[in-house]
Amino acid sequence: MDKMIAYCGLVCTECPAYIATQKDDMEALKRVAEMWGKEYGGSLTAQDCICDGCITEGRKIGHCNECKVRLCAMERGVVNCAHCADYGCKTLTDFLVSAPHIRDNLEAIRKTL
C-alpha cells in the first residue's frame, strides 16, 4: 500500500482508524474509538472513527470536515502543507502544538521539493 500523507502531515495509511476502515474491521474500530475517547476525552463510537483518509473523497472522521488545516490546504490547492508557499503559517503551527511529531513528515517532504 502506498503511503497516504494528509494535508497536515499525518500518515493516514499508518492510522489505526484508516487501517481498520480499509479492512472493514468493526472490532478494531471499536478499540480505536475507546482508545481515542480515553486519550482525547469524550465518547466515540466505531462509526465515528470510519475514515478513508482526509485527502480522499471517501468517508472521513468527523473532525476532518471542520479541520482548519485541511480546509486551508484544499482552498490553496496544495498536495499538503509542505507544498504551501506559506508553510509554517499560524494555522499549521497551532495544529502542530497538539501533534508535534508530524512536523518531521512535513519537513522531510520539504527537503525533496
Domains of the chain by residue range: 12-112
State pLDDT tens for residues 68-82: 999 999 999 999 999
Q: What is the pLDDT of residue 66?
A: 86
Residue 62 vs residues 39, 44, 47, 53, 100: alpha-carbon distances, Å: 17, 10, 10, 11, 21
Express each pLDDT in 54-69 by its tens digit.
999 899 887 788 899 9
Cell numbers given for 98: 497538539
Question: What is the structure's pLDDT at 1?
Answer: 60
C-alpha cell of residue 17: 482508524
- Neighbour-count burial for 17-43, b at 16+ CB within 10 Å, e otherwise: bbbbbeeeeeebbbebbeebeeeeeee
